[in-house]
């Protein structure tokens, strides 16, 4: 029977094999040409200006993870080319550079910007130009309501404030002195703390402002000291927290001092010295990975980020590194799920199906959830003991 078939149509087998080979050959050719083609991912971070404490570690996390992905073969075989611009924390620049990345540089996705103000300006443009964008904003407006093209990796200001207020409630602190910087970061903190405090039975007995770069903040510290506040909450980036600690020690302020995540770095200990002893900070896990419990679902990834960063940059990472690292984790996981070529649309669609553990928390992305899962406790409380950060809850 076999022989009969071969004799009747002598080229049938050849043509069958050819028919099978052709698509395979085409696929091989396609992936071969794709593997040579790089894929561009854009980053807009505040590398200078008042938000640089966020932007600089974010950019480092960005480059670190991209190199790691490229070493492992890239995204579906395509190497990533990073295109980074400095927004200087300026909303106009951020918007301009976003357009540049989207239209001139033809990136497949954008990571950043670093601050809420910039992100609010960039968000609508991302939706208009249809570019998957993972912002690093503290404001929950980026993901509430969810818009198709915008994702966000950090825990929102609301989550951070809720964490601290929860700690106050647990410790029986009902009156606090709030010290905030007179910049975007400080204002966002002031807004959200004042809004949520009543829900935790906490009253803001005193609210004082200062310039982040002021040389002396004694007057404000004295006003808090003189009030009936049981604790002080500082919401500002450096150098102000260090200066407040110094001024507070000088005037003999004895009540507990809590900080926002902006002060969550080794700098507070190095700069503050003995004055920093006993200070609390609400921080993402990346500050003290060795102190995480063994069953913490984020322990593994956090320790990896810490170790990789330390090896590459020779110093401990700032916690904001996780913002961009997580963004790339999501993009990496998403691209693995894409069957065909990676385009802006296919990437976006895939990102909405990703579930990963990142440095900031657990991500269970869906069309309704474009940020870290609020159930994953992103923030932990740390205290300075003997010149080191230790988990305190």
Residues that bind another protein (CB under 8 A): 47-49, 52, 56, 85-86, 89-93, 95-97, 99-100, 102-104, 116-117, 120-121, 124, 129, 139, 141, 182-185, 187-188, 191, 208-211, 213-216, 218-220, 222-223, 226, 238-239, 242-243, 246-247, 249-252, 267, 270-271, 275
Distance separating alpha carbons of residues 186 and 245, to the nearest angstrom: 17
CA 118 to chain centre: 15
The pairing of beta strand 257-259 with beta strand 280-284: parallel
Beta carbon nearer to another protein, 29 or 250? 250
Distance CA 149, CA 146 (A): 9
Question: What span, in angstroms and rounded, lies between the C-alpha atoms of 323 and 51?
Answer: 14
In the chain, count H helices and then E strands: 13, 14
User: What is the phi/psi pair of residue 88, to 5°?
Assistant: 60, 15
SS3 152: strand
Contact in structure between 5 and 15 (CB atoms under 8 Å): no
Q: Based on CB atoms, which residue is closest to another protein, 44 or 164?
A: 44
Q: Please report how close the Cβ of residue 253 comes to another protein at its closest, in angstroms.
A: 11
- Taking the complex as a whole, the smallest distance from the CB of residue 246 to another protein amounts, in Å, to 7
| 145 vs 252 by CB, closer to another protein | 252
Token representation of residue 321: 């590194």
The whole-angstrom distance between residue 108's C-alpha and the CA centroid of its chain comes to: 19
The DSSP element (H or E) to which 331 belongs, if any, is: helix 321-336
Whole-number minimum distance, CB 131 to another protein, in Å? 12
Smallest distance from another protein to CB 54, Å: 13
How many whole angstroms separate alpha carbon 274 and alpha carbon 263? 16
For another protein, the closer CB: 117 or 317? 117
Closest CB to another protein among 99 and 304?
A: 99
In the complex, least distance from residue 352 CB atom to another protein, rounded to whole angstroms: 25
Nearer CB in complex with another protein: 76/139? 139
Choice between 242 and 335, CB closer to another protein: 242
Q: Are 234 and 177 in contact (CB under 8 A)?
A: no
Q: Which residue's CB is nearer to another protein, number 48 or number 303?
A: 48
Considering beta carbons, is residue 31 or 271 the nearer one to another protein? 271
What 3-state DSSP class applies to 41?
strand
Distances (CA, A) of 187 to 117, 178, 193, 234, 243: 11, 11, 10, 12, 19
Tell me how far, at minimum, the Cβ of 184 lies from another protein, in Å.
Answer: 4
* Cβ–Cβ < 8 Å for 374, 274: no
**Rounded-to-integer distance, Cα 212 and Cα 201, Å:** 29
CB of 311 to another protein, least distance (A): 20
Instruction: Report the chain's terminal Cα–Cα distance, integer Å.
Output: 79
User: Least distance (Å) from another protein to the CB of residue 117?
Assistant: 5
CB of 250 to another protein, least distance (A): 5
**Nearest approach, Cβ of residue 338 and another protein (Å):** 27
What are 174's two structure tokens?
């009902």
Contacts of 241 (CB under 8 A, 6+ apart): 234, 259, 262, 263, 268, 272
Q: Which is nearer to another protein, 85 or 306 (CB)?
A: 85
């Amino acid at each position: 029977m076999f022989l009969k078939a071969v004799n009747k149509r002598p080229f049938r087998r050849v043509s069958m094999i050819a028919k099978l080979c052709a698509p395979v050959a085409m696929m091989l050719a396609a992936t071969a040409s794709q593997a040579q083609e790089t894929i561009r991912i854009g980053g807009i971070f505040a590398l200078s200006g008042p938000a640089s404490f966020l932007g600089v570690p974010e950019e480092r996390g960005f480059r670190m993870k991209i190199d790691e992905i490229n070493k492992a073969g890239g995204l579906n075989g395509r190497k990533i080319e990073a295109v980074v611009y400095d927004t200087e924390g300026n909303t106009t620049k951020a918007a301009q550079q976003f357009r540049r990345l989207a239209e001139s540089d033809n990136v497949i996705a954008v990571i950043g910007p670093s601050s809420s103000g910039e992100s609010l300006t960039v968000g609508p443009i991302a939706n208009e130009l249809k570019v998957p964008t993972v912002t690093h904003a503290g404001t929950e407006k980026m993901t509430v309501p969810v818009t198709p093209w915008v994702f966000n990796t950090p825990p929102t200001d609301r989550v951070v404030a809720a964490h601290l207020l929860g700690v106050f409630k647990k410790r029986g602190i009902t009156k606090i002195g709030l010290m905030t910087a007179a910049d975007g970061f400080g204002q966002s903190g002031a807004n959200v703390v004042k809004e949520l405090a009543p829900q935790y039975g906490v009253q803001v007995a005193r609210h004082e402002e200062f310039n982040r770069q002021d040389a002396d903040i004694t007057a404000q510290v004295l006003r808090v000291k003189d009030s009936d506040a049981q604790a002080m909450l500082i919401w500002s980036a450096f150098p102000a927290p260090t200066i407040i600690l110094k001024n507070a020690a000088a005037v003999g302020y004895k009540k507990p001092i809590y900080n926002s995540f902006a002060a969550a770095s080794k700098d507070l200990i190095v700069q503050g010295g003995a004055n920093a002893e006993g200070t609390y900070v609400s921080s993402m896990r990346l500050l003290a990975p060795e102190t995480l419990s063994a069953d913490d679902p984020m322990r593994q990834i956090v320790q990896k980020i810490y170790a990789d960063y330390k090896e590459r940059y020779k110093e401990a990472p700032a916690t904001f590194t996780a913002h961009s690292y997580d963004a790339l984790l999501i993009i990496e996981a998403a691209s693995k799920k894409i069957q065909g070529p990676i385009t802006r649309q296919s990437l976006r669609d895939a990102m909405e199906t990703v579930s990963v553990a990142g440095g900031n928390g657990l991500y269970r992305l869906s069309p309704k959830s474009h940020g870290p899962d609020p159930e994953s406790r992103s923030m932990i409380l740390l205290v300075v003991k003997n010149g080191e950060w230790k988990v305190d809850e």
